Every structure is written in C-alpha cells, then in structure tokens.
Structure 1
Amino acid sequence: MDEKIPAYLYEKKNSVKTILFTALFALLFINLFQPFGSRDWYPGISDIKYFAFSSLIILTGMLVVVISRVILTACSKKRDVVYWQYALWILCEIVAMAIFYTLFAKFFPKDGIERDISEIFRQSLINTALVLLLPYAITWLYFSWKEKSALLEHIEQEKSGDAHAKTLIAFPDEKGDLKISVMLENLLYIESADNYATIYYLNKSGLSHFLLRNSLKWMEEHLTKETPLVRCHRSYIVNMDKVKILKKIKGEIVLELDAEYTPDLPVSKTYYDSFMSKFSQYSV
C-alpha cells in the first residue's frame, strides 16, 4: 500500500477522461436504476424533463470529483501519492458526494415528506459508491491496459530494431556457395550488372564492395521478405535503414543514402509501388 500509484491515475488527460466517463455513467445509472425511488418523486413530468433534471443534479454533484481531481493532479506534482492515500482520497470523494445528495434530498423532500437524514445518507453513500467505484474501476483497467500495450509495443520495436541490427545477411553465388556475409546495419545497397551483383557495405576503412556471380532477382526473392531490403530499380536493391533522403527530381524519385561516397539511387516506375509500400513501413 506504500507503493506509488501509476502516473496514468492522476495525469491531466486521463483525469479528464475519468471525469467525463464517470459523469456519463452516473447519468445512465440514475436514469436506468433510479436510486431513492427518484422517478416517483416527480410523477407528473415527462421522461425528457426528468432526464434534464437528473442531469443537472448529477453534473452539479460531479463538481466534487472535478475539484478533487484538480487537487490530486496538483498534489502529485509536489509529492508521490501512494495507494493507501489514493484509496482514502476516493473514500473522501464518495463521502463528499453522499453528503451533497443527502442535503439535496433533505431540502427537496419527496412530496414534502420529511425523511430520516441518517437513512438518506446511508442510501446516498451506497449509491454514490456505485456511481464512482464502477467507472473508476473500468477506467483504471482501461488505462492500465493502454499503458501495458504501449510498453509491449515499445519492447517489440526495440526487439525488432535489435534483430535488424544483429541480422547477418548471407550472400551465396549462383551455385549456392557462401561468398560473403554482411551485418545488416553495415549493408548499403546491391547493384546488378548482367549475371553479377556487387554488394556495397561499410567496414572499418569506409565504403567497401564485393562482387559475386548471382542475380538480383534471386536476392529479391530470398533476402527482402523480412528485412529492410527492397528492390527499387532493375539494377538496385537498397537497405531502407540506410536511406537518409527521398527526393523527387524532374519527376523521378531518387534516394540519398546515409553514407559518404555513395551515389543517389533511382526508383523506377516498375518498382515504385512495391518500394513505396515498404517505404511507408519505415517512415513512421
């Protein structure tokens, strides 16, 4: 109970969402459940008028929650709020709203009949607890799910980034014999010339290249499915992770790589759609 509550419980945007959802829940609660037999208090009015009247009462009572959440957000900036303090805070909200509805029922009695104030407070306390605790629990679960989903997505992205960085791309020749392997993080692009392909990559001394006998078509079919490699031209396969700038010159798309002494690579019309489809995955 002395553990600090998660930030999503008192963040400003989440507090606004909690207040709005609680108000909506309270409106539905009082109009569907009709606590205290409140619908019988005003038998002569239409459902629309009753809804408007009950809405006014609920929204007025919700001022307690609004004030409470503003204070909670301000306090959380100055010091940590732990679970037992947060539980006590909610209890105070329930009691404060119960007192508000008790006073309302006392000063505006049903058919002018006086009722025992302790009984009114007891019923108000029960119904107010339902009105607040149910939407609070729902929003708490929702915010927790959102935070965990975002955390899992972040972890997956990190794993994906690590997997890309640590992937070793193997390049065999046309006979299947391994000729060279290059870390994906160092691979720049592949250039084709007839039945040969030149692998351009970074090493300690800068830009290097390696020539092997194999077709660009084979590499496109075997190396581009689950990697950032994509064919952009009949003569080029490029590593999307190394594309620094995509620009349009005289109606043609040109790629500038994040490495010195590398030429700008063209994107041909033949491969434009497939290239842009993959490019969109790497341009978030």
Structure 2
Amino acid sequence: MKILKLLDQQFPFLDSVRNRWILIIFSLVFSIFFINVFVPWNINRWNNDSGIEEFIHLSGFGVIAALVLLISQFSIRKLVRLKHFRIWTFAVWVFCELFVMATLFSFYQASWDVNINRFFQDIPNSFKYTLLAILIPYSLIILFLSYVTQKSKLKQLAETKDLDDKAGLINFMDEKGNVRFSILGDQILYLESADNYVVIYYKSDERLAKQMLRNSMKNIESFLTNSNFKRCHRSFMVNLQKIEFIEFEKSTCRIKLFGLENFIPVSRKFFPEFRSFTIR
C-alpha cells in the first residue's frame, strides 16, 4: 500500500512550459556533446563517416531525442489532456519516450531502410543504448528542477509567513505551493490528516467549520514551526492556545479543546515532547 501511495503522488516538475523547454534544450545539448566527445559504444565506427559528416551524423541522435521530447511533452500531452504527472504516469511516459527514441534511432542508423527481421533483432540493443544515454540528461534535469521547485516553495513559505504575521493570517498552500485559503490563526482549533488531504477545523460565527487542503501533515507541520500549533498525533495538530484541559494517563494523554466535545488523542510517539512542551 505504501508503494502504491508513493507511485500515486504528484510529479509536478514538468507541469510548466518553461521546465519542459529546459528538459528538451538540455537533453539536445548534452546528447550532442556526450555522443561526439565520448563516442560511447564506438558508435563512430557504425558508419564510414569522418570529420564534419561524422559530427552531423552523430549529432542526429541528439536531434531525434529532442524532437521526440518536444512532440511528447507538448503535442501528445495536449492531445491526451495530461496536464499533471503522477509518479507512475511519469515512469510509463518516460518508458514510451525511450522506446520511440530507440525505434527511430534504429531506422536512422540504417538510413531509414530497415529490414523488419533485422529491426526486431536490433531493437533490444537500441533500447539499452538509448536508456543509458538519455537517462543521464533526463535524470540530471529532473534533479535540477526538483531542487529549484523546492527552493522556490521554501522561499514562498518564508515570504508568506513574514507578510501575514502582523495580520495574524495563516496562508495554507497545497502540495504545489499555491495558496488556497487564509484563516486567522486564533480561529483555528486543530488540523487532521485524511489520506492525501489535511482538514483544518476553525471557528466561524461561533460554529465549527472546516476546510480541506491537498497536502501532507508533514509539510504543514514544517510550515507551522515556531507557531502555536503542535503535532500531537500522526493525524492531528492542535492550537495550544485553544486547549481547555489535558487528561494525562500513564504514557499518553488526550486533549479537550474549547468549543469541542470530542477529545484529541496524543500518541505515545509525541507524548514526551508534548508533555515537556505543555508542562512547565
């Protein structure tokens, strides 16, 4: 189940047009450089070219790879209306891209005149070489985009906290870093995780209201560090200013919040830290 949840997570690094162009251009430049400088698998001996003709021929592999990525990331994604990847759809998508590249490389190497029987014999090796060559720039650029995205999110989180400290507002962002709604901090009672969502419970006109946010409790906890909110359970965070009383037991406790009938549990994992934080 954990593996299925992991595979079903969002993969946002190729959502923007800018990031897709970065992938395509970097793959083109890297492939042309790599194949001409390092000449993997003695690929320069597969044909009788030399000099500028050899450079043009070898560079053709990089151009083909870039064209496949261009068509895949723009035309085909638009055709199938795929705006956002999940990890599993991204993996399948990359596999299909690599297979198409391997097929075109086989035809290109044979000057577009391929015998079907020979093609099926060559395609496994062609796919292997494509996998080894193209995954290098693909992996590098995904790591780079992941770093840039996370850095941007952290910066946005810091700016958001600084901007709204005076107003007492807390801006809640989804897993992509987009602000979905803002709530006064002193109106919030507690937060509860529910699958891939976090539910924020707050007071509105003396009644209990809630808002759902697509994000993880871990991300929200990180965002609310050094605030009045404290994680007390795998599924709960509470506003320390809204605690009416705490009922302690041997190695755990439960919390009663103002205006709330049900108790909020404190798990054994969070009990020591929570106890030291509340009892002074």
Radius of gyration: which is bigger? 1
Give me the TM-score of the superposition, normalised by structure 2: 0.49
Give me the TM-score of the superposition, normalised by structure 1: 0.48
